[in-house]
Amino acid sequence: MRITYQGKEIKLSKDIKQIVDIFGEETIRNDKKKIVAARVKNEVKSLDYFIKNGDEIELIDCTDKDGMRVYIRGISYIMCMAFNELYPDAKIIINYQLTNSMFCECFNKKITESMITKVKERMQEIIDADYDLRKTIMTKKQAAEFYDSHDIKEEDRRGYMQIDNDEKEEVSLYFCGKYFNYFYGVMPLSTGYTNIFDLKKYRNGFILQYPSVKDPSKLGEFRENKKFNNTLQEYERIQNLMEIGTIWDLNQAIRNNRSKEIILMSEALHEKKIAEIADEIAKKKEVKMVLIAGPSSSSKTTFAKRLEMQLKLNGMKPVTIGTDNYFVERENNPKDENGNYDFETIDALDLKLFNDHLEKLVNGEEIKMPRFNFKTGHKEYFDDRTLKLEEDEILVIEGIHCLNDELTSKIKKENKFKIYISDLTILNIDYYNRISTTDTRLIRRIVRDYNYRGYSALETLQRWPSVNAGEEKNIFPFQEEADAMFNSSLVYELAVLGRYARPLLSKIPRSEEVYSEAKRIKTFLEYFDEIQEEDAIPNNSLLREFIGGSVFKI
């Protein structure tokens, strides 16, 4: 049997049957980057995958996002197992991701320091024992009978999404001794693979910490972002009023003809929050400019348009300025490590000119605004492009650097109001499997890029790592600087976006490196029932920025 590893063909002896056999389990376990899975012909597989002749194999460690996902699933499984053994009546939910950690809560018990200590000790015992994690595949009928035989209530059935999914013929559960649970995606071979963790009481729940992608050999730093966390918890409380916390809940609402109600409630929440932000701005008479920033596909454009409407209701006249016209001359533009022009760094902007113009506008002076010619790489000036702020006018500026004070260094703090916007997904697959905020934004972008920018899903997926890198550098470090945060997520959106995204993802062939990512997202979207009442989505909805039909010029 022959395989390809790191571009080289290797002939294997007959006794080698699984990936772990090729390299030896001891070698894999001792890798500092923590090897937890493999990629076979661009598809993520467990290390116990049975090799086939001609397979192209790549080991995945925790510096890879797929590898970190596997690690997080493994340590989460162990945490759930420990809770189940010590507090079998406790209903744990893995809520959302914080910095190098997951925030978890308990529905029916107050989390105490004593509980956390005991669970942490039991987790370490499970890890030290290095129990096998066995994947068992059943038919849907067998899975239903298995749940019935264990007297498991419908709302507690992990893996129910698979039984409920018409696209799937089989159901998979992971067993560790007598304990079993469903986790979405590939898992480590055994409990000993995820040996770096911490468990700490936090707020009304606790955090499960794990290594960082940058250095998987040690525990990642947890940074408390209070404003960000408060925004997530606020939206979670409101979402609970709709009685939709998981995909199963959403699907049931759709099947019970509640789609329009869910759409209208979600949109009403957005309208209420936008109005509250506008009211807050109006109360601060010294504010002369609103600065809006957020990661890709957060719907900044539509949010800015709707905020302008609310500002007008408060007696203000918004005036928009784009930072794109303030690039430095092309010959002065910084370059990245590959020698290409870096247009995302803040140093690509003419900060002196931008601040001089802002200062003059705040002081009531007139400026001649530039227009950047992207073909020539130079700013141009025209006599008819002048601007002067009237007493009742307020600047609205949108851009990736708007939360960074360096962009507006000459402007006093009291003259600025900063807004951070992102699609902070609260909906979970089930109690133990969360939906990534990054995944939701990526799905939005796939649909928008195809509809409005002429990019295929393949091209969007290929660009996404670079987009993420820019966000990590230029946006996320400044999010706590915001005066207000707006969550642009809509609890129903993936039940709409799936119809658009799945066919686009299906076109990506296995030969492409991003195939595993495309398959993962496509499979995940298959769990959602589709909302048919798309006409119920208002034409000013943030979702219209991606699917079309927006009243605003996008």
CATH number of the domain enclosing 50: 3.10.20.30
Q: Is 540 in contact with 550 (CB distance < 8 Å)?
A: yes
Say what the pLDDT of residue 156 is. Answer: 61
Distance separating alpha carbons of residues 420 and 476, to the nearest angstrom: 9
- At residue 157, does pLDDT exceed 60? no
Cα atoms found within 13 Å of the Cα of residue 193, Cβ hemisphere only:
31
The SS3 of residue 519 is: helix
pLDDT confidence tier of residue 213, bands split at 50, 70 and 90: very high
| Of 432, 433, 434, nearest in space to 83 by CA | 432
pLDDT confidence tier of residue 161, bands split at 50, 70 and 90: low
Mean pLDDT of 337-349: 91
pLDDT, averaged across the chain: 92
Cα atoms found within 13 Å of the Cα of residue 116, Cβ hemisphere only:
20
Paired sense of beta strands 134-139 and 43-45, if any = unpaired
Mean pLDDT of 335-362: 93
The proportion of the chain whose per-residue pLDDT surpasses 90, expressed as a percent, equals: 74
Q: Which residue has the tokens 């990054």?
A: 438
Distance separating alpha carbons of residues 82 and 37, to the nearest angstrom: 24
Q: Calculate the alpha carbon distances from 434 to 76, 229, 547 in Å.
A: 11, 16, 24
Distance separating alpha carbons of residues 512 and 189, to the nearest angstrom: 26
**198 shares its domain with 239:** no
**337 shares its domain with 469:** yes
Where a domain ends, among 176, 209, 242?
A: 209
Mean pLDDT of 267-287: 96
- At residue 487, does pLDDT exceed 90? yes
pLDDT confidence tier of residue 73, bands split at 50, 70 and 90: very high
Say what the pLDDT of residue 274 is. Answer: 97
**231 shares its domain with 198:** no
- pLDDT tens-digit profile of 369-417? 999 999 999 999 998 889 999 989 999 999 999 999 999 999 999 999 9
Say what the pLDDT of residue 226 is. Answer: 86
Question: Which residues, 6 or more positions from 58, have their beta carbon under 8 angstroms from its beta carbon?
Answer: 5, 6, 38, 39, 40
Give the single-character DSSP code of 96: E
Say what the pLDDT of residue 163 is. Answer: 54
**424 shares its domain with 339:** yes
Say what the pLDDT of residue 173 is. Answer: 86
Say what the pLDDT of residue 195 is. Answer: 96
**232 shares its domain with 124:** no
The SS3 of residue 260 is: helix
In a domain, 486, yes or no: yes
Distance separating alpha carbons of residues 549 and 554, to the nearest angstrom: 10
**236 shares its domain with 193:** no
**120 shares its domain with 32:** no
Two structure tokens written together for 248:
């199963």
- Give me the sign of the Cα torsion angle 350, 356, 360, 365: negative
Q: Is 83 in contact with 422 (CB distance < 8 Å)?
A: no
CATH code, domain with 455: 3.40.50.300
Neighbours of 175 (CB within 10 A): 14
- pLDDT tens-digit profile of 103-152? 999 988 899 999 999 999 999 999 999 999 999 988 878 887 887 887 77
CATH code, domain with 142: 3.30.980.10
Neighbours of 65 (CB within 10 A): 15
- At residue 540, does pLDDT exceed 80? yes
Domain count within the chain = 3
**377 shares its domain with 230:** yes
Say what the pLDDT of residue 338 is. Answer: 84
In a domain, 366, yes or no: yes
| Of 534, 441, 549, 456, nearest in space to 492 by CA | 534
Question: Which residues, 6 or more positions from 421, have their beta carbon under 8 angstroms from its beta carbon?
Answer: 292, 293, 294, 298, 299, 300, 303, 485, 486, 487, 488
Distance separating alpha carbons of residues 316 and 313, to the nearest angstrom: 7
| Of 397, 445, 439, 437, nearest in space to 419 by CA | 397
* Exposure letters 505-536 (e unless 16+ CB within 10 A, then b): beebeeeeebbbbbbbbbbbbebbbebeeeeb
- Measure the CA angle with vertex 103, ends 199 and 120; round to 5°: 15
Distance separating alpha carbons of residues 279 and 520, to the nearest angstrom: 42
- pLDDT tens-digit profile of 490-539? 999 999 999 999 999 999 999 999 999 999 999 999 989 999 999 999 99
In a domain, 109, yes or no: yes
Where a domain ends, among 209, 237, 267?
A: 209
Task: Provide the strand spans (E) within 196-338.
Answer: 198-202, 205-209, 289-293, 317-322
CA 166: distance to chain centroid?
Answer: 26
In a domain, 216, yes or no: no
Two structure tokens written together for 232:
């997530």
- pLDDT tens-digit profile of 86-102? 999 898 999 888 999 99
Mean pLDDT of 4-33: 89
Question: Which residues, 6 or more positions from 64, have their beta carbon under 8 angstroms from its beta carbon?
Answer: 213
Q: Is 379 in contact with 370 (CB distance < 8 Å)?
A: yes
Say what the pLDDT of residue 199 is. Answer: 98
Q: Is 322 in contact with 512 (CB distance < 8 Å)?
A: no
**196 shares its domain with 287:** no
Q: Angle formed by the axes of helices 515-525 and 437-448, to 10°?
A: 100
The proportion of the chain whose per-residue pLDDT surpasses 70, expressed as a percent, equals: 97
Q: Which domain holds residue 459?
A: 226-547
- pLDDT tens-digit profile of 428-470? 888 888 899 999 999 999 999 999 999 999 999 999 999 999 9
In a domain, 540, yes or no: yes
The SS3 of residue 501 is: helix
In a domain, 291, yes or no: yes
- pLDDT tens-digit profile of 49-64? 999 999 999 999 999 9
- At residue 65, does pLDDT exceed 60? yes
**386 shares its domain with 527:** yes
Stated pTM of the model: 0.91
- pLDDT tens-digit profile of 310-331? 999 999 999 999 898 999 999 9
Where a domain ends, among 61, 87, 112?
A: 61
Distance separating alpha carbons of residues 384 and 403, to the nearest angstrom: 30
- At residue 158, does pLDDT exceed 60? no
In a domain, 552, yes or no: no
Q: Is 468 in contact with 475 (CB distance < 8 Å)?
A: no
Q: Which residue has the tokens 């589709």?
A: 530
Say what the pLDDT of residue 155 is. Answer: 58
Say what the pLDDT of residue 465 is. Answer: 92
Backbone angles phi, psi at 412, to 5 degrees: -65, 150
Say what the pLDDT of residue 142 is. Answer: 85
pLDDT confidence tier of residue 167, bands split at 50, 70 and 90: low
In a domain, 554, yes or no: no
Task: State the first-to-last Cα distance of the chain, in angstroms, to the nearest integer.
Answer: 55
**451 shares its domain with 491:** yes
- At residue 162, does pLDDT exceed 80? no
Say what the pLDDT of residue 400 is. Answer: 92
**357 shares its domain with 475:** yes
Distance separating alpha carbons of residues 1 and 17, to the nearest angstrom: 10
